[in-house]
Structure 1
Amino acid sequence: MNITIRPAILPDCPRLLELIRELAEYERALHEVEVSLNHFEESGFGESPVWWAFVAETDGMIVGFALYYIRYSTWKGKRLYLEDIVVTKEYRGLGIGKKLFDAVLADAKRKNLNGVLWQVLDWNEPAINFYRKYSPSFNQEWITCSIEKI
């Protein structure tokens, strides 16, 4: 199987949203996906994009993606935040996630960023085991907080 990793383009957005819903269902939170296609497209490909992504493609079909943005830490400077990395169920275990993650790491290095951050659910053992291969630090000291619909 030939897998191509490339930057996402605007016509990829409907498929990316399908994969986002697949991930949300896996994470038992499908009801929380509220983003519209229009908002998603504008946020990634409008006048002021706030996210970028790599897609994994085989035979003209997108089977995975890694979506990220740049955040700023007052302690560390500019860092890449990996929002989601998804490989559709039928294509897991084939090294596609590694290719996507490596593309993200290479982009962070190319952009001279000071690190890469992400979150993983504490019950998602397959994802935790995947990330362990990269020897990250797992910080259980910080608690994620959010305010919805301000």
Structure 2
Amino acid sequence: MKYEIVAVGGTFDHFHKGHEKLLNKAFEIGNYIMVGVTSNEFGGRKGNIEPCSKRMSELEQFLHRFDSRYTLKRLEEPYGPTIDDPQIDAIVVSRETEPVANKINEIRQKKGIKPLKIFVIGWVLAEDGKPISSTRIRNGEIDRNGKVLG
């Protein structure tokens, strides 16, 4: 079954294989994808992340293959349009952000909006068997493809 509008969001810092898996799943299940990218101010709470303009540019390079089936938006808070837009049908999240999707559904239900179908994707593992993450890439442990460095 294809969902009409699917949401996916994140910091997308040091764009990597895990981000690709998340986005590919969204395009696999959805006709149109709303991609939210945390702003510098909001995303900066995670630490020393790349500027939002760089993160959005790297996302665009990946997303262009999906023609015009998406919108790329800057997020200033955790939920973006997902808590107000009844046209969004589903959301794709990682294991670590699944609690956010559950909170979004709680808020939607309180507002009388149907809950989103939640799709949780597993981690993409680096060659050392540990999850690929932006933090590990920032720390110089691995590259964006999961290759162990040093």
Highest relative contact order (Cα 8 Å, sep 6+), 1 or 2?
2
TM-score calculated relative to the size of structure 1: 0.30
